[in-house]
Amino acid sequence: MIYFDNSATTKMSTEALTTYEEVVKNIWGNPSSLHQLGDRAHQLLEAARKQCANLLGVKPCEIFFTSGGTESDNWAIKGTALAKREFGRHIITSSVEHAAVGNAVQSLKELGYRVTVLPVNKRGQVNPADLKQALDSDTILVSIMGVNNEIGAIQPIPEIGDILENYPSVHFHVDNVQALGKGIWDQVYSPRVDLMSFSAHKFHAPRGIGILYKKAGRTLKPLHDGGGQEKGLRSGTENLPAIAAMAKAMRLYLDNEPAKAARQRAIKERIINYLQDKPGITIFSPAEQDFAPHILCFSLAGIRGETLVHTLEAQDIYVSTTSACSSRSGEEAGTLHAMHIDDGLATSAIRLSFDEHNTLAEADEFIRVFDQIYRHFAKVNHLG
C-alpha cells in the first residue's frame, strides 16, 4: 500500500499509541480533582503543556488544549469577535481558507460583522498590499492560514505580521494545521502572530485533540461554559490520554525536521519531474520554496478527480481530491475556484500529500502506475 493522503490524516505512531494506552490504564484521575490521583493527572497535563510549548517556542501559559483544528479555528475567530465586539466588527480573511475558518467567519457575517475576503493570485497567495488597504479602525481580526491544505501554497505570514505591527489591537490568527514539521516555520510564523491552530492527527497523534496557541495578554472569550478548565477559557474535562500522546507525537515529529522535510520535497520533485511535460497535466503545486514540501496538487484534463482517486485506489495507492473535508460531499476545490481555475480543471484535481514515512521508491511506483493510467486516458481524450 502507498498512502499519499497524509494531509487528510496520518497514521497514529506506535509511540503515541503506547503513551495513550499507558495513560488510560495508569493515570485515569480527573486533573481537576484534589486527591492524589487527580494531582498525578494534573502533573502529567501540565508536563504535556510544557513540552508542546517548548517545541513551539512559546510559553506554557499560551497553550490551550482543544478537540482539534476546527475547534481551534472557531475559538480563535468567534472568541475574538465576542471579546472585541465593543471595539469593532470588521474581520479580514482570505478566499482560500479551510472551511473551519471560512464558515466560522460567514456565521459572524450573518450576525452583523463586516467581513473582507482577500483575493489570491494564480499561485493561491494573498497580496499583503491588499491586506494593508483593507485594514481600518473597525478591524478586530485578521485570519490567514499558513499553508493551504489543497495546493500547499505558503501565505506571506511574516510580511502580514510586519503590516500588523502598526495595528497592535488587531488579533492575528494563523491556521497552521498543515504547517507543522515541514521545515518552513520561519515562513508561517511571526512574533506578531497572536493565535495559531494545530490538529494532532496531522502529526501521528490521536484524532479529537488539538491546540490553540494564544499569546499571553490577548483577550479571548470562551465558547464553552462549564467547570472552568484550561484557565477558565475552555471548559470540559481534559482528554489526558490524547493530550499526552499528542505531546509525545509532536516531539518525535519535530525531531530531525530538516531531513524529514527534505525527503518529502524530494518525493514531490520526482513526481513533478515526471508530470511537468505531460500534455493535459496541470500542476498547481510547483516545487518552489513558497510552496510546502509535502503537498502536490495536479489535474488530468477530462478526468474527474474522484475517478482518478478510485482508479489509483484499485492499485492500492491512496490519494485525495483536494481537501478531505469537502471531497466526500462533492464540493469543488475552493482554492482552485478562488484562483479562477477553469471549472473543468478544478474538478479534475487530485492531491498527493506526503509525510516522513514515504519514500522515493513509493514515488517511483506511483509514477509507474500513474503512467499506465495516463496513457489510457490520454488516448481516450486525444491528449498529445
Query: Could you tell me how many helices (H) and strands (E) the chain has, helices first?
Result: 14, 12
Give the integer Cα–Cα distance in Å for 100 and 143.
Answer: 11
Confidence of residue 39 (pLDDT cuts 50, 70, 90): confident
| Active-site residue, selected from the candidate residues 52, 61, 297, 325 | 325
Query: Which residue spans within the chain are E strands per DSSP?
Result: 2-3, 63-66, 90-94, 114-118, 139-143, 171-175, 195-199, 210-214, 281-283, 295-300, 317-318, 349-353
Its CATH architecture, for the domain 2-9+257-380, is Alpha-Beta Complex (3.90)
What's the CA gap between 149 and 130, in Å, rounded?
22
- β-pair type (349-353, 281-283): unpaired
Which value, to the nearest 10 degrees, does the dihedral of the CA atoms of residues 196, 197, 201, 204 take? 0
CATH classification of 14-254 is 3.10.105.10, yes or no? no
| Mean pLDDT for all residues in the chain | 94
- Amino acid (1-letter code) at residue 116: T
Residues written for the chain? 384
Decide if 325 is catalytic: yes
Residue 296: closest CA among 3, 1, 5, 2: 5
Q: What is the pLDDT of residues 78-95, one digit of tens each?
A: 999 999 999 999 999 999
Between 42-56, 291-305, 313-327, the lowest mean confidence (pLDDT) is in 313-327
* Dist CA 13 CA 2 (whole Å): 17
Asked if residues 319 and 351 have their Cβ atoms less than 8 Å apart, the reply is yes
Cell of 258: 530538516
Residue 328 has pLDDT above 60, yes or no: no
Delimit the domains of the chain by residue range. Answer: 2-9+257-380, 14-254
- Residue 376 — pLDDT band, cuts 50, 70, 90? confident
User: pLDDT digit string (tens) for 188-241?
Assistant: 999 999 999 999 999 999 999 999 999 999 999 999 989 888 888 898 989 999
DSSP assignment string, 108-166: HHTTT-EEEEE---TTS---HHHHHHH--TTEEEEE--SB-TTT-BBP-HHHHHHHHTT
> pLDDT of 246-283, one tens digit each?
999 999 999 999 999 999 999 999 999 999 999 999 99
Return d(Cα 195, Cα 175) in angstroms, integer. Answer: 8
Tell me if residue 306 falls in helix, strand or coil: helix
Torsion sign across C-alpha atoms 200, 103, 339, 165: negative
**383 confidence band (pLDDT: 50, 70, 90):** low
In angstroms, the Cα distances linking 139 to 133, 192, 206, 207 are 12, 16, 36, 34
